[in-house]
Amino acid sequence: MAKKDIISGNKRVALSTLGCKVNSFETELIAQKLSGRHYSRVKSTEEADLYIINTCTVTSEADRQARQLVRKAIRSNPQAWVVVTGCYAEIDPNACSMIPGVDLVVGNSQKLDIPSLLDTLYQGELPPILGKNIDKEISLPDELLSGYEGRTRAFVQIQQGCDQGCTFCVIHKARGPNRSFPLSMIRRQIERLVLNGYKEIVICGVDIGSYGSDFEDSSQNLTMLLKEVVKVEGDYRLRLSSIDPAHITDELIDCIASEPAICPQLHLSMQSGSTLILKRMKRRATRDVLYERVSALKKAVPNLVLSADILVGFPTESDEHFQQTLEAMNDLDIAYPHVFAYSPRPGTPAARIPS
């Protein structure tokens, strides 16, 4: 079957997602739009006419996994159309495009437009790489997501991008600056998912603690958002995804403690327990701030469960710094540590730090 033969009729699409909850949210939106265009979704391991791979680039291992998924899709059906998108596609589109068999690479700024681009792609009227300035352009949801295939809980994105620019990270370059979604849209999205039977809604984003900081109205922040969305009627609970300890305000703590619908669990973007290493990472919180915020949380929410991202092997990290991190994990009762090794990302300040 030649590629041109799939332009009309029923088409099978396989979608693969690497990385964060935001990617999962965006993949499901793409899948929903494709369903309305007469695509039948199949498993990513099955033969399809169209493969869409939504990539991550948080580490070099994520890049490797993305390339592996792309090549696996091409092997599954060498005549299929292959579209690569996501953060790896945004950061290194040429590397993605050079894989034999890839037809289109789409940056994050146009990711949600993929379904409407396909007919033009099939006609051979698109360049191999599509992307706009991620700092100025953003691909916003233009419809509500009905659900997640094969999942019993749902992710709801509330913002895009990050203004911090930690020295080890490229995600702020892949996602652009913080852009908060309208509260009305977020509430309607949660209402739709609860109505469709989802019992757990996970509030996610690239940097959820920054929600509202780009609005003129300074009262619009994460706490205000939570107080509004818990008004949605139904039998469900809310959970927050990863949050910077510096964004855990007294106001947010009071909200978590007083709202039964909010799970007494937080995933901290902690990274290290050493103030020196945190400073070299350009993190917002010091060790003292981390301890103080967690202490305030535990006082207000006695049954609190904590998990955390931990980055090890950062340039200049010594055995002493590492021990400080272990000590902090023990002192703060981090029940579920997500530990990953430092991976030099080209173009980041940390990549220039001598080990």
Q: How many CB atoms lie within 10 A of CB 237?
A: 15
Alpha helices in the chain, H assignment, sequence order: 21-35, 60-76, 87-91, 93-97, 114-122, 171-175, 183-195, 222-229, 250-258, 275-281, 287-300, 319-331
Q: Classify domain 153-350 by CATH architecture.
A: Alpha-Beta Horseshoe (3.80)
Q: What is the mean pLDDT of the chain?
A: 94
Domain 3-130: CATH architecture, name and number where available: 3-Layer(aba) Sandwich (3.40)
Domain segments of the chain: what residues? 3-130, 153-350
113 vs 338: CA distance, rounded Å: 33
What amino acid occupies position 68?
A: Q
Q: What is the pLDDT of residues 150-159, one digit of tens each?
A: 888 999 999 9
pLDDT tens-digit readout, 12-35: 999 999 999 999 999 999 999 999
pLDDT tens digits, 101-120: 999 999 999 999 999 999 99
Q: Output the pLDDT for position 5.
A: 59
CA-nearest of 118, 193, 197 to 157 is 193
Q: How confident is the model at residue 138 (pLDDT cuts 50, 70, 90)?
A: confident
Cβ within 8 Å of residue 184, ≥6 positions away? none
Q: Is 243 helix (H, G, I), strand (E, B) or coil?
A: strand
> With 90 as the cut, is the pLDDT of residue 6 above it?
no
Report residue 7's pLDDT band, with 50, 70 and 90 as the boundaries: low
Q: Is the pLDDT of residue 146 over 50?
A: yes
- For range 285-292, the mean pLDDT: 97
Residue 355: CB atoms within 10 Å: 9
